[in-house]
Chains A and B, each alone.
Chain A
């Protein structure tokens, strides 16, 4: 299995500012995923972070708002830019178990970053 850590675990930010969330995996993986979970809602995939290429964004999410970096095979960052209260959510990174050396089609999730925008 893969162990995933995220920083910060939570933050309270002012409207208009930006926050960068870090995700660290204890094994090398080619793809990492970033999800958002708004209060009372399900997880929604934001983008796929690919090492060595641009991130791939899902419908409704754009790079200007959620820039992603993937400098190496164990680390990724997601920035939430120009924040508004609507961005208040839990942000989670995950990896596919097959890409982390596993044999089954599951995903390992980080503990999440709880963001509150005032």
Chain B
């Protein structure tokens, strides 16, 4: 079955630095990979999607890379701000299904001033 691994330890980072999160997966070749942000008591909010034939995608201060050989995606928050503090989830599409996603456990990011 598909497995998704994200670093379970919280990432503590100083404001202005770049936060880098890792998402590793096994036993599957997803057509696309997504990153979501989740704040306490809220549902996840979509941030970025990257397809299997894309190496990198950017949105404002966010950058996602996708290495299908390593089966890994990296998520970068540049010039981090305290407002970026949240849990970040990666998600893969589930094979042979429409709209179903499998999520990683998420990595908490704490940005301190």
A residues engaging B (CB < 8 A)?
Answer: 4, 31, 33, 40-45, 48, 92, 94-99, 104-112, 114
* Central interface residue in A94, A99, A107, by most chain B CB within 10 Å: A107
Closest B residue to A45 by beta carbon equals B100
Q: Is the CB of B99 within 8 A of A42?
A: no
The minimal Cβ–Cβ distance linking B99 to chain A, given in whole angstroms, is 3
Is there contact, CB below 8 Å, between A43 and B99? no
Instruction: Report the separation of the CA atoms of residues A4 and B44 in the bound assembly, to the nearest whole angstrom.
Output: 12
Chain B residues within an 8 Å CB radius of A107 = 34, 44, 46, 99, 101
**Residues on the B chain within 8 Å of A48, using CB:** 99-100
Q: In the complex, how many angstroms separate the beta carbon of A39 from the nearest chain B beta carbon? A: 11
B98 touches A31 (CB 8 A): yes
Neighbour of A109 across the interface among B43, B99, B100, B105, CB < 8 A: B43
